Structure 1
């Protein structure tokens, strides 16, 4: 298998392993992940007007996303423990009934923070679902993806088709 198609988390014996990043340079690393949750009008209005019985949905979901990004190493078996230097979780309305999230993560270190950004975005949306499921069990989480990655040897990546 050539280097371009080699899976870094599989060793020469075909076994899963954690990649050794000890020889990599510490560089500033950034990742931005995106996702959406589609909901009925009642839930959307409840979130916007802050009248959901469980509390302020977006504030709780923001904290959950940040906490999840920090705990990615505990959830994804072969991830490295990363000291995040920044994590932001931001929400916006794509339409009347589609809420979007972006999770930005940063660090200075030998490995990237894509998994932390993706985990943060996912858990933020799962928290919205959890807090609002009594009003809409058909909410749909979609379009989870990496929008941007910067730093390290592989260079800068920006998703070609934005949202």
Structure 2
């Protein structure tokens, strides 16, 4: 089984360029937990991974209960963004989320409503997306997609001053 898992090629296994992460971390950080990472893609010293690895702080970000205690960095598969926003609401947590501008997608209205700062437009995906496997990652699949970093709060009446 471990050999099989090591051979999985995953279009969701990518990270933003470390310089871009540092830029976002200077604005909304310090981020304390990278919620959707692996030992090769983690931007924070502490992270949650899909599978167990020797340095993960926990397997499966959705099963973790410490969201409210962390300044979360979220670079999740786009299909999971609705669940991420629900998790932020559940734990009244704060996060920086990397997400495309998908106005027609189910998660988008909730993302707008939970934002506590203007989103930051990211460069073209080819300039910030670092693949971690041989498979073309999600952001590079459509060159027309525009990506943003969003500062989001799941607390009711969350104010921008809570953004740090």
Instruction: Report the TM-score range of the alignment, normalised by the length of the smaller protein.
Output: under 0.3
* TM-score, with length taken from structure 2: 0.24
Which protein has the bigger strand share?
1
